[in-house]
């Protein structure tokens, strides 16, 4: 079952959320810690985290009274693959090689790309 791409693309559509992803790529953070990096209320940051969670882009785990948000980069994979459909238009060579790599790997390439 192909994952629904829409929540992922929607989550990526906001610059604050893209920044958050990069931050969580460095280290997991609580909501308060993420909020420190932005000039907006914690509630606003929380909403962004919910959207990221909706897209499966982050994992949220309780730790006492805190919630630790960590990156789930695997959720980006379908996006990457959706984009790869267009490789042929801007770089035939890279596309060919990447296809070879994917074939070489024993991946479940049950891709739908929609």
Residues engaged in binding its own copies (CB under 8 A):
5-6, 9-10, 12-13, 15, 18, 21-22, 25, 71, 73-74, 76-77, 79-80, 82-87, 89-91, 93-94, 97-98, 101-102, 105
Is residue 27 at the binding interface for DNA, with CB under 7 A as the rule?
no
In angstroms, give the least distance from the CB of 112 to DNA.
22
In angstroms, give the least distance from the CB of 93 to DNA.
34
Is residue 37 at the binding interface for DNA, with CB under 7 A as the rule?
no
Check if the beta carbon of residue 32 is closer than 8 Å to that of residue 64.
no
Within 1-114, where are the H helices? 5-12, 15-26, 31-36, 42-54, 77-84, 87-90, 92-104
Q: 44-59 in b/e burial notation, b at 16+ Cβ within 10 A?
A: ebeebbebbbebbbbe
Alpha carbon separation from 67 to 4, 32, 56, 71, 77 (Å, rounded)? 26, 9, 16, 13, 25
DSSP 29: E
Residue among 2, 4, 9, 14 that touches DNA (CB under 7 A)? 14
Residues 55-84 vs DNA: string with x where CB under 7 A? -----x--xxxxx-----------------
In angstroms, give the least distance from the CB of 47 to DNA.
6
């Amino acid at each position: 079952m192909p994952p629904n791409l829409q929540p992922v693309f929607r989550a990526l559509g906001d610059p604050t959320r893209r920044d958050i992803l990069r931050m969580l790529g460095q280290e997991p953070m609580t909501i308060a810690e993420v909020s420190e990096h932005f000039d907006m209320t914690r509630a606003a940051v929380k909403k962004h985290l919910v959207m990221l969670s909706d897209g499966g882009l982050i994992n949220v785990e309780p730790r006492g009274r805190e919630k630790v948000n960590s990156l789930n980069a695997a959720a980006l994979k379908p996006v990457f693959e959706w984009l790869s459909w267009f490789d042929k238009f801007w770089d035939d060579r890279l596309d060919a090689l990447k296809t070879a790599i994917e074939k070489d790997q024993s991946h479940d390439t049950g891709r739908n790309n929609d």
